[in-house]
Structure 1
């Protein structure tokens, strides 16, 4: 395990915040503006009556290369040449690195504006940055830290050898029996297939047709040599095994690999035609992306599945919410982590704006802000923060004036106050109840 050196904070934070204050070349003017400016709240609520006391972030990694290279299955699905990624499969891309630094810089500016600067300077254990041990998650956390703490020598905590999954971030089944498997499968079928596994594929009929057209599958090696010329809507098989992540066999998995590769090259190389000359509209890109988004939902967001596979990470987040002296926690994992945690907690259904990925877009952050009200009560604001599709493609610099998109989440069974905030005791109780549900399985 590697961890940051707490002694470094006392040495480096003065320089960090001075950099933020002096960015316009006039430190006295900048400091004056900062002290007189109104608080900037990531989500839309009047935070003037509240004091920010801490933040816990669960992040998805930023732009990565596809999980397999162009010589694998996805290469056989199209006659076209895929984008030549400058990194190995699964690895964070150069654009992903820069985008995450921009997000970190935005959080630095926002944290400073909301009064956590002095506390962060004075407490050695105030910050924890912990990543799954995959290259793309370690690199995402590293570049986020470089943006947020440019003068601090922050080491990223991870617990395994590089590219070995940490069990905290592995959304795997740790309990199965016949009754549970039957109930979980029924829930998956009802939620995503209108009562059957075959229904899952049928819901993607139009998406599969569009994806096949973009790939020009009829001209592919897969079609000419293997007679696989279109995606089958009736071949889905849902697999549950102890110690393994949920998985499916069939066209949904193959189509997801292709959709994932298309979306990633659309993000990474904005100057090239990522849709192989088909001039897709934004709505059509949303349809392509919906294939892989639906795949993730099928695997990880049925409540019975989510409670099982998200339990270790739910416990880790709850621990960070209660960690003495902790002011900022950054946990970096995957879309499966964000999706399963939200589903286990009972998030109300949502569709994110300004992104072709409607649920857990690349680089998305589940942000739990801890606010103290004038009434003395601690509250939680729970939001998703993410770069819009245009911000990703255009490498937009983020700031309080040009912020990332944010979306306030609501949860079944939690009652918010007039500002849309939840009592922290209620949020912690929700985590505890969901964690305890595992024992009821």
Structure 2
């Protein structure tokens, strides 16, 4: 079930189903919302250093960003604040946040990773959820690695690079074959960039997997690694409003962005979806989500503001697709989130429903209020088993 909010009315049956899920305050509704947990990717940021490599040749200069590399932009902050305001309204209808005024102490809990873009995103989203309330934003210190968001870097579970590589190769059919399957998208990226070199936009390197220098992860080289960041930068500059303009990047339109976005989505077929990688990437944050869902007496809303790797890892552990109309299947746009809703019926029986929430491409670009929520089928028992594997 996909629900588009603040758009034209959808089918009556869809609205009725949505009402049963979200309007727990009504005596007629058989389900009451006890708690909501949101795992979200940060908002629109400036490119990471090296994300669009300097040796990537293009037919136009890259746009100039208004903030330092990797930082949340003011436009990205505003998009998240609007998203928070839209979410505040249904959270208030469900009874987990107040319709007016500020939440009670501890009723809205926000925890972010330590990067500027995640902390700033947590603040912006919280301002939409609870305007003017100065919600505390929790995070570790700048020199600390948070195992919730960066479990490999924090070394929270044993890591065997050989086992990881074997799992990745089995899942992808081999990273060289992964690159071969994406050749149409790689060719389109060259066309979109209007390359001036006969061999394409980037140096051609063979696909290769190897252990990272610290032994805590895996390094990928080759066409997918080289092109994935470039594809992501194209999406980011579009939603930021930097392209297309009258002189540059005319070819980068939404349909093309969705197609070349498959290059960025392919990264997660290496780093978060293969079973060995998934157990370790999803483990700590997955356990925190489960702990929140298993403690309904706490009530309220938990927000975990992290990265696309966190959302894709949890989705893979749940066994659900990430599919939104404007984006490549398996990719996560800025502000994309998994929303876990803990429910209880009149007999006291508890259940959980999970939604994949995104803002459409033009919503982020134009700062309007449309939000898409898709109900996804999940197996929480399988999810528990998968996140438990990270302890091994």
**TM-score interval w.r.t. the shorter chain?**
0.7 to 0.9
* Residue of structure 1 in register with 2:347 after alignment: 375
Corresponding residue for residue 32 of structure 1: none
Alignment match, 2:9: none
Change (3 A) 1:114 1:258: same
How far apart, CA to CA, are the structure 1 residues paired with 2:44 and 2:271?
21
Rounded to whole Å, the distance in 2 between the matches of 1:43 and 1:253 is: 42
CA contact (8 A) 2:315 2:321 kept: no
Secondary structure, counterpart of 2:119 in structure 1: helix
Question: Once the 2 structures are TM-superposed, how far is the Cα of residue 322 of structure 1 from its aligned partner?
Answer: 3.4
1:409 to 372, 376, 383: 376
Residues 155-196 of structure 1: CA deviation (Å, up to 9, x unaligned): 21011227x54232104163556xx5444323322322x3x2
Q: Does 1:129 align with 2:120?
A: no
The structure in which a higher percent of residues are helix is 1
Residue equivalent to 1:28:
none
> Does the 8 Å CA contact 2:87/2:129 hold for their aligned counterparts?
yes
> CA 1:199/1:355 → structure 2, altered by over 3 Å: closer, same or farther?
closer
> Aligned to 2:266, what secondary structure does the other structure show?
helix
Q: Is the 8 A contact 2:202 2:226 kept in 1?
A: no
| SS of residue in 1 equivalent to 2:333 | coil
Residues 41 and 118 (structure 1 numbering): CA distance in 2 closer, same or farther, change over 3 Å? farther
Residues 23-58 of structure 1, C-alpha deviations (whole Å, 9 max, x = no match): xxxxxxxxxxxxxxx9x9898473332111110111
Question: CA contact under 8 A between 2:102 and 2:130: conserved in structure 1?
Answer: no
| Alignment partners' CA distance in 2, 1:313 and 1:375 | 30
- Give the length in aligned residue pairs: 369
Aligned to 2:48: 67
Unaligned ranges ≥5, structure 2: 1-11, 22-28
Say if 1:86 and 1:93, in contact at 8 Å, map to a contact too: yes
Pick the aligned partner of 1:211 from 178, 184, 189.
189
**Deviation (angstroms), 1:242:** 5.9
Q: 1:100 aligns with which of 58, 80, 105?
A: 80
Instruction: From the superposition, tell whether residues 73 and 280 of structure 1 become closer, same or farther in structure 2 (CA, over 3 Å).
Output: closer
**Are 1:138 and 2:104 counterparts?**
no
Q: Which has more radius of gyration?
A: 1
Residue 336 of structure 1 is aligned with which of 309, 312, 322? 309
Checking the alignment, whether the CA contact within 8 Å between 1:62 and 1:96 is kept in structure 2 is yes
Residue 319 of structure 1 is matched in structure 2 by 291
Q: Which has the higher contact order (CA 8 A, sep 6+)?
A: 2
Pairing 1:296–2:296 present = no
Contiguous gaps of at least 5 residues in structure 1: 1-37, 415-426
Q: Return the TM-score normalized by structure 1.
A: 0.75
CA contact (8 A) 1:187 1:304 kept: yes
